[in-house]
Chain A
């Protein structure tokens, strides 16, 4: 009866390319490099039914993303820690963060033998961006010059003027404005190349894609609602070389079912321990589990359009609510200690993360100060005695109901008001409520990074008018800092500016950060060498059968 939490609730999710390290000699974080083991055996892993045909720009959820990232490779990929490394790119050069020259390695081919050229990238990106192709990820190309024309309603235009093929191995990208983290995004699913054959029958291609990644789809390998079977692609020369005889994804409708399968060795790898087993997985799988943070967080949005939460009164109330939540206690009791309280708006696995931002004490539990701030706000404008502070959330995702109820109880007890979960049966309805800006209270939120960058946690969420700015937050000072950060010449310089932008957020609290997400994964007795990446997805190609 459950939807996997990540599949829809967090959306685009962990689809980013998983990557590697081994090539350069650095062995990343996890332990088991596969000394001994059978590299010809197929391993099995959990997944969910891909929601759309397997096309780069149309895959925006984990079920399809896991497969896409194994059967395709892009210009760059991310290593286990989220650092960027070249995959097909020879070089990505820019002088002004606005005009990029991209050279790709020569001699690489798709699994059907056709060569990978600059044109494959340019055509695929144009295809993904054009409105007439109705690709869900099309907004990923919005930085490229000419996107506004191809994405206009009813547009028949399908070439962005910012993309130009120079020769077989070179193309140039012109952005609408300087964006220094553009190269960081290029490992995301949407930016994969497509072979020429894809465009003749896009729908058929989505059922049986031809890619260029470490694996390829077995013929008829996608058995809907049952499994997706992959075998190694011999034509792949990149750093993510397969160390097993293939990966078969078994499709589950609930992580509980998958958990019992790993327990009885019917399934090799599970990347999501269900809430009902959070208390037991370390003993059920002694020595065969991982519990590590990934690039995602959980927050609570308090919309800016609520009159009680505007201006000075609003700042006081927001701070009061934030300090009334005992994050550590909820983590201990509801999540059995398997998360870390948030002290900023991003994630500790992202380069540039700062755990000691000035003003972050507002995210620490302090019942006395919370009550004082709340009373101070009441002096400006009293809170009606019978008014209930509601937290809206869809509860078709496992675990939402429990923690929000706990949070509501804490807020109620510590502030002396009424607080309650407002449960919504379906995700689509909760999205509708949030999008229509008609909430009368807070709502559950969270973000899972598309690519490892501080900006990805800030710009799309709190920039004025940004796509995922659910609370309608708008602060010109914040916008200016973001712009400054994007135009910065170095990543370090940019990160410094992004963290200054975060200090503004800590004062305004458009959302109340709660905790950082962590992945709990377990594996069977039949495999070794299991590691999880920066985005919480296992490095499937590193796993070997015993």
Chain B
């Protein structure tokens, strides 16, 4: 198990370089000239333009640019944004906020998703099951920007139960509403995955045995059915942590959360490769680590699964 974990961390190295290379290339390949955009459509003195281009190595061919980026990376210098700030400082500000938001959203979808999923799975075709299905459809079909906007208007403005936007320090309590909105679509997945899995395992031999042994229904559900139903759910949740962090663009925009979703979106639009590469580089690490945790959980959930 230890060897397995160690090997997985070793894999991080090629993955990190592969991802940064690919992302750097994608930003390089996006059409448009970042320096021209800096001037906001107004004229710019040609000498200033040339100097700025040189400052960000934009006058170099791709391999040179990427090489220079890697060279800086070795000294832990993540480069600078077009506004002259250190990318490391920008990232250090934004990542904790988004991480908090994503973890809250993940907790929300895990707790309610599994709870609703188990109930729906045990009472397939009953009223609760159908209600959950209809609610899931709403969440899937109505895009986040609408759901977020409506919730913000109702809860934040009309009812006044919460601040409609998140203040600068992004405290936990203000992130509840954004986390809810962020986790809604994934909630639909978790509910249906749990429901299906529970429904499948209800008929398994060990459940029959457990019931026959005279175990209480609660014990059968929690210990036997649930534990054996969790593998697809855990797989999904593990992958979702990273998606929630990188995909919070809309939610962060609606609630004015100063996180990486917004940062990434703006950086992509500006063609600011240093920022994009740094954000995605860290996201890749999150994905690999989350995947490792999920794999370790497999073995715990199902002892038949062994890693060497």
Chain A directly contacts chain B within the complex, with at least one CB pair under 8 Å:
yes
Q: Across the two chains, which residue of chain B brings its CB closest to A137?
A: B42
Interface residues in B26-64 by Cβ distance below 8 A to A read 30-34, 36-48, 50-52, 55
**CA A61 – CA B50 in complex, angstroms?**
21
A interface, by DSSP: helix, strand, loop or mixed?
Answer: loop
Question: Complex: how many Å from CA A131 to CA B54?
Answer: 13
> Which of the segments A114-122, A219-227, A234-242 contacts the partner chain?
A219-227
Whole-angstrom CA separation of A466 from B43 in the bound complex: 8
* Contact between B48 and A138, CB atoms less than 8 A apart: yes
Give, as a whole number of angstroms, the nearest-CB distance from A279 to chain B: 14
B32 in complex: contacting residue of A139, A155, A264, A426, CB < 8 Å: A426
Asked if B48 and A225 sit within 8 Å, CB to CB, the answer is no
Say whether A431 faces chain B, with CB atoms less than 8 Å apart: yes
**Complexed CA–CA distance, A253 and B44 (Å):** 26
A254 touches B164 (CB 8 A): no
Q: Report chain A residues within 8 Å CB of B85.
A: 224
CA distance A410 to B271 in the complex (A): 35
Given A52-B83, A138-B45, A225-B93, also A260-B40 (CB < 8 A): no
Interface residues of A in 412-439 (CB under 8 A from B): 425-432, 435
Question: Binary interface profile of B, 257-285, with partner A (CB < 8 Å = 1, else 0)?
Answer: 01000110110111100000000000000
A428 to B35, CA, bound (A): 8
User: A1-44 interface mask toward B, CB cutoff 8 Å, 1 = contact, 0 = none?
Assistant: 11100001111110000000000000000000000000000000
Report Cα–Cα, A253/B168, bound state, in Å: 12
A131–B41 CB distance below 8 A = no
Task: Report the nearest A residue to B40, measured CB to CB.
Answer: A11
Taking a contact as CB atoms under 8 Å apart, the answer to whether B156 and A260 are in contact is yes
Instruction: State whether the Cβ of A525 lies closer than 8 Å to any Cβ in chain B.
Output: no
Query: Does B157 belong to the interface (CB within 8 Å)?
Result: yes
**Cβ 8 A contact of B41, one of A138, A139, A153, A468:** A468
- On whether the beta carbons of A1 and B93 are closer than 8 Å, the reply is no
A358 on interface, CB distance cutoff 8 Å: no
Tell me how far the C-beta of B50 lies from the nearest C-beta in chain A, rounded to whole angstroms. 6
Q: Are B44 and A136 in contact (CB under 8 A)?
A: yes
Over the window 297-339 of chain A, the binary record of Cβ atoms lying under 8 Å from chain B Cβ atoms (1 yes, 0 no) is 0000000000000000000000000000000000000000000
Partner pick for A264 among B51, B93, B156, B266, CB 8 A cutoff: B156
Q: Residue A396 at the B interface, CB < 8 A?
A: yes
> Given A51-B83, A253-B256, is A11 in contact with B157 using a C-beta cutoff of 8 Å?
no
- Residues of A within 8 Å of B153, CB to CB, are 260
Measured in the bound complex, the distance between the Cα atoms of B48 and A52 in whole Å is 15
Q: Bound complex: CA of A256 vs CA of B255, how far in Å? A: 9
Q: Judging by beta carbons under 8 Å apart, are B46 and A153 in contact?
A: yes
Say which residue of A12, A226, A427 sits within 8 Å of B269 (CB atoms).
A427
A261 contacts chain B at the CB level, 8 A cutoff: yes
Number of A-B contacts defined by CB within 8 Å: 170
Query: Which residue of chain B has its CB nearest to the CB of A11?
Result: B40
Tell whether, in the assembled complex, residue B42 and residue A12 are in contact, meaning their CB atoms are under 8 Å apart.
Answer: yes
CA distance A276 to B268 in the complex (A): 25
Complex Cα spacing A152 to B117, Å? 69
Residues of A contacting B228 in the complex (Cβ-Cβ under 8 angstroms): none
Complex CA–CA separation, A264 to B167 (angstroms): 14
Q: Are A460 and B43 in contact (CB under 8 A)?
A: yes
Q: Are A227 and B160 in contact (CB under 8 A)?
A: no
Give the interface SS of chain B, mostly helix, strand, loop or mixed: helix
| Residues in B neighbouring A401, C-beta threshold 8 A | none
A464 lies within 8 A of chain B by Cβ: no
Give complex CA distance A206, B80 in Å.
Answer: 15
Partner of A428, one of B163, B255, B263, B269: B269
Interface size on B, residues (CB 8 A): 58
Whether A11 and B39, one on each chain, are in contact in the complex, defined by CB atoms closer than 8 angstroms, is: yes
Cβ of B37 and Cβ of A428 under 8 Å apart? yes
User: Nearest-CB distance from A542 to chain B (Å)?
Assistant: 26
Residues of A within 8 A of B152 (CB): 260
Give Cα distance in the complex from A9 to B37, angstroms: 9
Residues of the B chain whose Cβ atoms lie less than 8 Å from the Cβ of A426: 30, 32, 37, 268-271
Report B216-230 CB contacts with A as 1/0, cut-off 8 Å: 000000000000000
Interface residues of B in 1-39 (CB under 8 A from A): 30-34, 36-39
Q: Are A153 and B254 in contact (CB under 8 A)?
A: no
Task: Please provide the chain B residues from 147 to 179 with a CB less than 8 Å away from any CB of chain A in the complex.
Answer: 149, 152-153, 156-157, 160, 163-165, 168-169
A155 touches B47 (CB 8 A): yes
Query: B139 at interface (Cβ–Cβ under 8 A)?
Result: no
Determine whether A384 belongs to the interface, using a CB cutoff of 8 Å to chain B: no
The answer to whether A264 and B157 have CB atoms under 8 Å apart is: yes
- Cα distance A90–B43 in the bound complex, in angstroms: 32
Closest to A445 in B: B41
Q: Nearest-CB distance from B129 to chain A (Å)?
A: 35
Q: Which residues of B contact A151 (CB under 8 A)?
A: 45, 47-48
A203 touching B39, Cβ below 8 Å:
no
Could you say which of B184-192, B206-214, B245-253 contacts chain A?
A: B245-253
Report whether B94 and A225 are in contact in the complex, using a CB–CB cutoff of 8 Å.
Answer: yes
Partner of A256, one of B36, B37, B46, B254: B254
Return the chain A residue nearest B82 by Cβ: A51
Task: Give the distance to chain A from B267, nearest Cβ to Cβ, in Å.
Answer: 11
Report Cα–Cα, A467/B42, bound state, in Å: 7
Return A317 CB to nearest CB of chain B, in Å.
25
* B258 and A225 contact, CB distance less than 8 A: yes
A132 at the interface (CB under 8 A from B): yes
The answer to whether B42 and A60 have CB atoms under 8 Å apart is yes
Q: Answer yes or no: A385 CB below 8 A from chain B CBs.
A: no
| B89 partner residues in chain A, CB cutoff 8 A | 224
Q: B40 to A12, Cβ gap below 8 A? A: yes
A10–B41 touching, CB < 8 Å: yes
Residues of B contacting A425 in the complex (Cβ-Cβ under 8 angstroms):
269
- Are B40 and A61 neighbours in the complex by a CB distance under 8 Å? yes
Q: Can you spell out 8 A-B residue pairs with CB atoms less than 8 angstroms apart?
A: A3-B266, A12-B42, A134-B52, A224-B89, A426-B32, A426-B270, A427-B269, A431-B32
Q: Which 8 A-B pairs have the closest CB atoms?
A: A467-B43, A11-B40, A429-B32, A428-B37, A131-B47, A226-B168, A428-B32, A260-B164
